[in-house]
Amino acid sequence: MSVPVVLQEKLYAGAALLGKEGYPVKLDGSGKVVLATAATDIVIGILDRGGEAIGDYCEIIVSGECTRAQCASNAAAFTFCVASATGLDDTITTGASTGYIVGRWLQSAVSGGQYRFDVNITPMGVA
């Protein structure tokens, strides 16, 4: 039996992120962690523990299973998702060649809740 591997990174917050655990995040122009709010954002992972203020450390899951990812729209298990202003959204434009798939739900998810998610960031339009 194999043990799942989860890769985490500890970085500085570029905004107050407390209470935003489970949301997709990116780096701002200064290399600090902020919320990712669009499918075209270069997502670095899912926030696991947020900083209370700018400059505080926060923890990011960059690959592997996240047990509490924020769902932005109802989604079936194993549906791929992109970043949105309210969490992870399964609305992916067919034929999109820009943006990033953040990963996929490991269970059915309901908008507004937090669920198990497999973080596997992949640029769209890459074969």
Q: How large a percentage of the chain has pLDDT more than 70?
A: 90
Mean pLDDT of the chain: 87
**What is the predicted pLDDT for the residue at 95?**
65
| Per-residue confidence (pLDDT) for residue 8, from 0 to 100 | 82
- Stated pTM of the model: 0.88
The three-point CA angle 40-67-94 to 5° equals 30
What does the alpha-carbon distance between residue 80 and residue 57 come to, in Å, rounded to a whole number? 29
d(CA 71, CA 56): 25
The string of pLDDT tens digits covering residues 80-110 is 899 988 888 877 766 667 788 999 999 999 9
Rounded average pLDDT over 47-64: 92
- Cα(59)–Cα(68) distance, integer angstroms: 13
Token pair recorded at residue 21: 């655990």
At residue 94, the pLDDT reads 64
Counting residues of the chain whose pLDDT is more than 90, the rounded percentage is 62
Mean pLDDT of 44-68: 92
Ranges of each domain in the chain:
7-63, 66-123
What pLDDT shows up at residue 59? Answer: 93
Whether residue 41 contacts residue 83, with contact meaning beta carbons closer than 8 Å, is answered with yes
